Amino acid sequence: MSLDRFAGHVRSVEELVSIVGTPSALAVKKELPSLDAHMRRFIACSPFVVISTRAADGRCDASPRGDAPGFVQVVDERTLLIPDRRGNKRVDSFRNIIETGAIGLLFLVPGFGETLRVNGRAMIIREEAWLTPLAVQGKRPLLAVAVEVQECFLQCAKALLRSKLWEPHAAPDLQSLSCAAEMFVDHVQLPEYDVAKMQTLLDDAYKNNLY
């Protein structure tokens, strides 16, 4: 099955605008070319950001990054540094950045409805002088993503309000969702891993390999 099943898709920007309409002056004017004081404080309060990148062949990737609030360093109004903490070494985002240099960021602050969107150019850096201040628990990241801000703006809270993301009483029922270990075992299909062994591996990684 593919997208070919959708015969009535929108085929042009003009058709899209005819359906959705045009943005208000407010929606257009909120976009800034650099980070103002409000945005810098927002990033300082944010413990979570989604990094979106694209490869040279057009493939896209969205990857979560999280740490203590303010882990993304605001160097100046046009520059951000995102430290690379220990992960699975797939480095999908890094590969894409090396190929195209394009990046989009979505910052969230728990309990706050609005999100902050930042789009721009990026590169992977390894200079010790920049990486040392990003150390946590005495461990300096091997790499960081340097972002040149080209456009940034607040996204309204409608999506988070509809999802009730920050409402504790609206927590989803997880009874029908398999545990992560079971899902990984089914996905990787490696005979040396059963659910118990995979769970042990995950527990150790989450406890001892965050930094």
Query: Which residue intervals of the chain are DSSP H helices?
Result: 13-20, 25-29, 37-45, 92-100, 128-131, 158-163, 180-188, 195-208
In tens, the pLDDT along 15-66 reads 999 999 998 898 888 999 999 999 999 999 999 999 999 999 999 999 999 9
Give the pTM. Answer: 0.89
Is pLDDT above 80 for 1?
no
Q: Which of 187, 119, 129, 126 is nearest to 153 (CA)?
A: 119
Query: If you average pLDDT over residues 150-158, what whole number do you get?
Result: 96
- Give the domains, in start order, of the chain with CATH numbers: 29-163 (2.30.110.10), 172-208 (no CATH)
Rounded to the nearest 10 degrees, the angle between the axes of helix 180-188 and helix 195-208 is 120
> What mean pLDDT, rounded, does the chain reach?
93
Is pLDDT above 90 for 10?
yes
Do residues 69 and 45 lie in contact, with contact meaning Cβ atoms separated by under 8 Å?
yes
- 156 Cβ contact list (under 8 Å, min separation 6): 113, 114
**Span of 56-65, 105-114, 168-177 with lowest mean pLDDT:** 168-177
